[in-house]
Amino acid sequence: MAWGDIVVGLDIGTTKVAVLVGKVDPDGMLNIIGIGTSPSKGLRKGVVVDIDSTVKSIREAVDKAQRMAGIEIRSVYMGVTGGHISSLSNRGVVAVAREDREITAEDVARVLEAARVIGVPPDREIIHVLPREFIVDGYDGIRDPVGMVGIRLEVEAQIITGSMTSLQNLLRSVEKAGLEVDDVVLNPLASGEAVLLPAERDLGVVVADIGGGTVDVAAFYEGSLCYASVIPVGGEFITSDIAVGLRTPLATAEEIKLEHGCALSDLARDDLFFKVGSVGGQESREVSQKILAGIIEPRVQEILEMVGREIEASGYEKMIPGGVVLTGGSSALKGLGELASRQFGFPVRVGTPADAGGLGDMASSGSFATSLGILRYAARDIVSGRTGQDGTISGMVGSILKYVRNWFRDLF
C-alpha cells in the first residue's frame, strides 16, 4: 500500500472474498487491524465468470474491512488461482558486472530477468519468477549471492504462469471496484506462507489449500517453492454430492455438511441422527451421520487422489519428509486429516494460520490462509523496502503487472 506501513491482502475465492488489512511495525511485526468478508458469487473454480457480481463482492468485503480498520483502502495485493496456473523451472546465466567481481543486487535482478526468457505462449503471462537457488562459478545451493565474489552467476528459478484472459478478468474486477493492484501473489504460495513452519519448508513439504472450488497445491524444498498447481475441485463438490444423495436443497446440504459432516465412515456415528428437509420442503427425514459420511468419503478420497497425483507430478514425492499440510475452509471437515494420512502414507497435519495477529477465531480458520499469506508477502515487501524499482523479484512482478495492466487498458 502506498502510505507508510499499511498493507492490504485481497483473496477473491470461489465461496468468499476476504480482505485483511495489516499494519507493519517498524520492527517488522505484522498486526491485523481490519478484516472483511463477503459471499462470492461471480467465480467458478477460482476463475471470474461474472465481473459485476465479483465487483460487488469485492466492494462489500473492502467496505467492511475499511470500516473496521478506520482507513480508506486504495490499493491491494491480490491473490491469483485457477486451473490455468502452471509452473516450470528454468535457468538463467549472466556474467558478474563489477570489475572487482562482487555480486550486486543488480546482477541478481539481471539473472532473474535472464531466467524469464522462456517460450511462453502468447495467451499466457508470467506471474512469478521465484529463485530456488543461485549458483556462483559452479558452486550451487546459494540462497543470497549478493556480496559474494564470482565471475558467473546462475539461477535455478521456478516460473509460474497463468492465462492472460483469467488474469485480465481478475484485474478488471478489482479495478472496477475502485482499487489499484500493488502486486499479484500466487494463492498456493500465499497459503504456504501462512501455514507452513520454516523447518517444514526447509525439509520438504506440500501444502494443499482445499477451498470451495479449487485446491491450491504447492511443494516447498530447501526453503523455496519448487512446484505449484491448482486443481479445480473443492468443498462445493462435497456439498452438491450431499444435496443429490439426500435429495435436499444445496443450502441445506451445506448446513448439514458444516454441522454433521465427516470424511471418514469409521469415525462417524450411526446413533447420531439429524433432520433433512426435502427439495419440495414438505416431509423431513432422519438421517444418520454414518450415512452422511458414506456420501462424503468417496468424494474426499477422489479430491485427495488428485492431490496425490499432483505430488507425483511435482517430482518431489520422495523429498517431502515434512509431509502434507492441509488448510483452506474444507480442511475443517472432521476426519479429513486421518483419511488423508491413510491415503497418502505421508505424515499429514491440518494447518491454520497460526499467527492471526489478535483477531482471534475469525482470521485463524483455514479459510483465511490465503489472505493472511498474501498479507505476509506484502509485509515482507514493505520491510525489505522493495518499492518495485529496485530490481528484486517483487520489482519484476510489479513491472509484469504494469505490463499486463497497460495491455489491458489498451484493450478496454
Ligand X SMILES: Nc1ncnc2c1ncn2[C@@H]1O[C@H](COP(=O)(O)OP(=O)(O)OP(=O)(O)O)[C@@H](O)[C@H]1O
| Nearest CA among 105, 79, 93, 76 for reference residue 16 | 79
Q: How far is the CB of 46 from Mg ion (least distance, A)?
A: 7
Nearest to Mg ion of 54, 370 (CB atom)? 370
Nearest-5° Cα angle at 401, 68 to 80: 60
Choose the contact partner of 235 out of ligand X, Mg ion, none; CB within 5 to 8 A by kind: ligand X
289 near ligand X, judged by CB under 6 A: no
Q: How many residues bind ligand X (CB under 6 A)?
A: 25
Cα dihedral sign, 211-366-198-78: positive
- Main-chain phi, psi angles of 343, to 5 degrees: -75, -40
Contact pattern from residue 301 through residue 330 relative to ligand X, giving x for each residue in contact according to CB under 6 A and a dash for the rest: ---------------------------xxx
Nearest to Mg ion of 161, 370 (CB atom)? 370
Q: Of 13, 150, 235, 398, which lies in the binding site for Mg ion, with binding defined by CB under 5 A? A: 13
211 near Mg ion, judged by CB under 5 A: yes
- For residue 43, the cross-strand partners are 48
Identify residues 377-396 at the interface with ligand X (CB under 6 A).
none
211 near ligand X, judged by CB under 6 A: yes
84 near ligand X, judged by CB under 6 A: no
| Nearest CA among 74, 71, 79, 77 for reference residue 33 | 71
Where would I find the H helices in 160-315?
164-176, 187-195, 198-203, 235-245, 250-260, 289-314
CB-based burial, 168-192: b 16+ in 10 Å, e otherwise: bbbbbbbbebebebbbbbbbbbbbb
162 near Mg ion, judged by CB under 5 A: no
Q: How far is the CB of 281 from Mg ion (least distance, A)?
A: 32
Helix (H) or strand (E) holding 52: helix 51-69
82 near Mg ion, judged by CB under 5 A: no
Q: How far is the CB of 328 from Mg ion (least distance, A)?
A: 6
Q: How far is the CB of 97 from Mg ion (least distance, A)?
A: 42
234 near ligand X, judged by CB under 6 A: yes
54 near ligand X, judged by CB under 6 A: no
Choose the contact partner of 158 out of ligand X, Mg ion, none; CB within 5 to 8 A by kind: none
Can you tell me the distance from the alpha carbon of 376 to that of 356, in angstroms, rounded to the nearest whole number?
Answer: 11
Strand, coil or helix: 287: strand
332 near ligand X, judged by CB under 6 A: yes
Identify residues 247-266 at the interface with ligand X (CB under 6 A).
254, 257-258, 261
Cα separation values, 128 from 85, 159, 160, 351, 399, Å: 11, 6, 5, 25, 11
Binding footprint of ligand X on the chain (CB under 6 A): 13-16, 40, 46, 81, 211-214, 234-236, 239, 254, 257-258, 261, 328-330, 332-333, 367
Binding footprint of Mg ion on the chain (CB under 5 A): 13, 211, 370
